[in-house]
Structures are given as C-alpha cells and as structure tokens.
Amino acid sequence: MKLGRTKSLTVEVASSDRGCEPPEPLTQPGGADGALIRQKSAASSSRIVRFLNALSLALSCAMLMLVMFGLWQAREDAWKASEVASSNLVTALSRNVGNNVRLVDQAVIATSIGLELPGLWKYPEDVRNLVLFNKARWSPYLSRVFVTNERGRIIALSDGARGVGVDLSGRSYFRLLRSSGSRKPLLSSVVISRIGREPSLILARRIATSDGRFAGIVAGEMPLRLIRPTLDDVVIGSRSAINLFNLDGTILLRNPALKPGATGNIGGAPTFERMKREMTGVFVGRSAVDNEQRLYVFARPAGLPLLLDVATSTSEILAPWWKRSLPVILTTLALCAGIIVLASLFQRELLRREKLEAELAELASTDGLTGLLNRRSFDAGLARELRRAERTKQPLSLAIIDADHFKAFNDTYGHVAGDKTLQSIADAMREVYRRPADQIARIGGEEFAVLMPDTPQNGALARAEALRYAVAGLGIAHSGNSEGVVTVSVGVTSMMENDADPTVIMRLADQALYEAKGRGRNCVSSFHGET
C-alpha cells in the first residue's frame, strides 16, 4: 500500500476509561524467529550428519569389501596352489612307483625268458644265475628275484643259494597263479618274506611248459624298506600325509609313519572308498586315521593294484594365508574404525560449530535485553511478509507499541528498573502474540513492534487491546504516569491492498501510535489510509 494522498482519515481509539473487558485467551501455540533459526540450523546439521554417517559407513563397507574380496582371492589362490602342488607330487610319485615296479617286472620277464634257454640247468650255478638274473639290479625296489618249481619250492634266486628249497606253496600269490593260468603279472599284498624276513611286496609271473601246464613262478621281492624312501624323501607338513595303499585298504607305507596303535587298514572308510571308486581325483575329507581334515589328491600308479595319495592338512594350506591375512584384516578394521571415529569427531565438531553459528545468528537477530527480534531482523521480516501478503492476497497487520512516559520512569526509578520493565513488557507480548508466524521485535529504546501475517485489522486490534490490558495488569509502579502504573500505547494498521512498501505500513502504524499518544496514552488506535 502506497501512502499517496489521504482523502479521508478514520481513527479508532480504545482507552483504559472505556472499561474494556479482558480478551479471551489465545489458544494458538507460540513461536519465535530465534527458535526458527535454531530449527533451520538443526535441520541443516541433521542432514549433514546423516550424510557423513552414510559416507563413513559406505567408505568403511567399501574398503572392507575390497579387502575381503582380495583376501578371498588370495585364499582361493593358496588353495589352488596347494591343489596343483599336490597333483604334481602325486603324478611324480605315481610315475616313480610305477616305473620302479615296471623295472621289477622287466627283471622278472628277463628271468622267465632265461628259463627257456635249452640246457640251462647244465650250466654252472654262477653262469646260470648270470643268465637268469642279469637284470635283477635294475630297480632300486628289488631285493631279489627267485624261481620256484610247480610244487612251490625255490630252485634259484638272484642273491645266492641261501633260500633255495624254501617252500612257498602256501602263499596266496603262488596259489592264484597256479590256478588262474594267466600270464599277467600279479602283485601280492604285504607278506613277511621267508628269505629276507621283512615286510615285502611280491610281483610274480606264471611259468608254463610248452603244452601250457603250470611249471612254477618267477617272482621279484620288493621290501617295503626299499620303497619307503620314495615317500619319506618328500618334505611335508607335520599334519599332512602321503599314503600308499593296496586295494583292500591296507596302508603299505605312510609319511609320516603311523603312530603305535593306529589302524593300519582303513578299508570301508569314506575317504578310502571314494579313492578306490574313483581311482584318481581331488576332494576334501576327514582322515580315518587321525580325523584331521585334509585335501586329498590321489591316483593309481601305473594301473597297479595300489593307491597313492597326498593328503594335505587344510589348516596347513591356510596357515600362510592366515599369517598374511590377519594383519591385513586387523589393519583394515582399524582403518574402518578410524574412519568412523574421525567422522564422529568431525560430526561433533560440525555440530558444535553449527550450534555456535546458530547462537551467533540468533544473537545477531535478537535484542540483547529482551530476547525479541532486533530492528534489523524485523525490517527483513517485514519486507518478506509484505511480499508474501501481496502474492497470496492475505491480510497483514502491524502494531507498534510504546511504553508511556518511559523517560520519566527511567529518571525516577533508574535504568536497571527500566530494563526490567522492558523485559516484563516483552514477556507480556510473548504471552499475547503466541502464533508461530507472529514476529515480535524491539525497534527502539521503549518501542516495540509486532508483525501479524494472515491477521485482519479487527483481529490485530483485539490482540493489541489484550496486550494493553496485560501490561497494565503487571502493576509496575510508575508515579510519572497518570495511571500510576506502567502502560503502553499501541498503533495498529493493516495492509489491505497490493502495496509491498515497508515504509508506508510503518508510517501508517506510527501515525496510529501518535494518535493514541495524543489522546492521552494507554490506548489502542488504528489508522486506515484510503488512496
């Protein structure tokens, strides 16, 4: 509303001698710009804190996931490396065992061929042995080669006449070859040699006459002590094992050796039965010997009735990985905790600074004595509300309040009493103007202003009258005032048309206030300007 020329002037006066009744109490909740500032600051801080919490958590989770992924890959690599190493070892050992057993078989075959030489038994013994056993030293597994007749008695052997005449007819391998008619080699189970008196494997072939009748056997004796170095020379972990089995589950050789009392046959155990069924492969299982969980890599050497496995303890496979990973895990957890702690410290510092800034902003916008808005904040609020009222076509009312004869009060009672009185007036204003949108300010020494959005002039007058009663009701003695107590005069005006000029509405309110003072003070006046 622009001031322009005033064609007519209407003044409404409400004074204490009208005998006005106290207004009905206002029921709307109260509020203040200081609280609004704090709320905005708290909302801003809350958003930043939530962002920092999410960011620190995301960074920690991302770091943890990356590290865990890397560690998992390292674990898989360690497992794969162990599997490859075990597979290579099984292949090498199987080839070694197979080749050496094959050399034993070749020595047996050579002896069988020598037996076919005409007139062999007429030769001197040393010549005959040279013919029969010239390949008996080819294999490191072979201790001796011997020949039996059809009744099972040894008639010749490679290491002298010490065992000639020994009866082997009761041995299972002899009986099998005698009854089978097969010319294929037969590998026995472990037997105690009747010549060397030690645990041995016997690889034997059948001898037949020209018409196919059984004529005895040729056999190579392989003491386990000669096979053992193949396994014992391999360095393995203390909880791992290398085993050589025959197909009934008997452990022929083991590195490390079985402890006293440990079972020497694991036939029927899940691990052995799987190896026997598959013949070659890889799996993880628990040992039937000591219940240790191991990675089993196994094979059948050269098609022999044997099984060879390398059983690596899973704890030994992962021990180096754990040794490397544990410091990484602890460091990562420490870093994640550090990120969260630093974020928390930063949040705390941010909240502290936000609080200080909010307090400073509140101090900059409020009057130090009364806690109301100061003139600067009021002017900004007035301009803002005028623009809003013009945009929404809603009424906007303004009241200017002045303490009557306040200079005389200060001169009589002192400035300390004057300050307390101003604070009491401010408290009374807070009780009357309690809507969240109401803006109460101290704009001069004893002068106050109230901006009331969405309030028509009649409502503003009613609330101004309520304030006048409230201040007078405080009963603060004032000998320089005709009422004998502190009172206020109030000028009220409203923006009724599209006029967003703050100076106009302030001038109209001032004119209403001057009219109230001119009519004896302690009253409320309203000023309507018509353009």
Q: CATH number for the domain including 176? A: 3.30.450.20
pLDDT score at 11: 38
pLDDT score at 40: 58
The enclosing H or E element of 215 equals strand 214-223
User: Does any domain span residue 504?
Assistant: yes
pLDDT score at 63: 84
pLDDT score at 341: 86
Residues 15 and 155 in one domain: no
User: Does any domain span residue 283?
Assistant: no
Phi/psi at 494 (nearest 5 deg)? -135, 150
Residues 26 and 146 in one domain: no
User: Does any domain span residue 449?
Assistant: yes
pLDDT score at 498: 59
At residue 231's C-alpha, the angle toward residues 229 and 232, to 5°, is 60
User: Does any domain span residue 316?
Assistant: no
User: Does any domain span residue 152?
Assistant: yes
Residues 383 and 521 in one domain: yes
User: Does any domain span residue 468?
Assistant: yes
Parallel, antiparallel, or unpaired for β 199-208 and 214-223? Answer: antiparallel
Residues 514 and 382 in one domain: yes
The total domain count for the chain is 2
pLDDT score at 297: 95
Contact 437, 454 (CB under 8 A): yes
pLDDT score at 37: 53
Domain end among 226, 251, 278: 226
Instruction: Give 447's strand partners.
Output: 402
User: Does any domain span residue 338?
Assistant: no
Whether the model pTM is above 0.85: no
**Domain CATH code at residue 423:** 3.30.70.270
The residue to which tokens 């303004």 are assigned: 398
Residues 382 and 519 in one domain: yes
pLDDT score at 340: 83
Residues 524 and 378 in one domain: yes
Using alpha carbons, list the distances in angstroms from residue 205 to 97, 98, 178.
19, 17, 10
Residues 395 and 502 in one domain: yes
Domain interval for residue 475: 9-32+372-529
Half-sphere exposure of 294 (CA within 13 A, CB side): 26
Residues of the chain with pLDDT under 70: 1-45, 161, 496-499, 528-531
pLDDT score at 24: 38
Q: What gap in Å lies between CA 349 and CA 358, rounded to an integer? A: 14
- Give Dmax over CA atoms of the chain in angstroms: 165
pLDDT score at 219: 93
Contact residues for 305 (Cβ-Cβ < 8 A; gap 6+): 187, 246, 247
E strands within 427-481? Answer: 439-442, 447-453
pLDDT score at 41: 58
Instruction: Give 441's strand partners.
Output: 373, 449
Domain end among 202, 226, 250: 226
At residue 167's C-alpha, the angle toward residues 163 and 172, to 5°, is 120
Q: For residue range 186-227, what is the model confidence (pLDDT) as tens digits?
A: 999 899 999 889 999 999 999 998 888 999 999 999 999 999
Domain end among 180, 207, 226: 226
Instruction: Give 306's strand partners.
Output: 246
pLDDT score at 469: 95
User: Does any domain span residue 483?
Assistant: yes
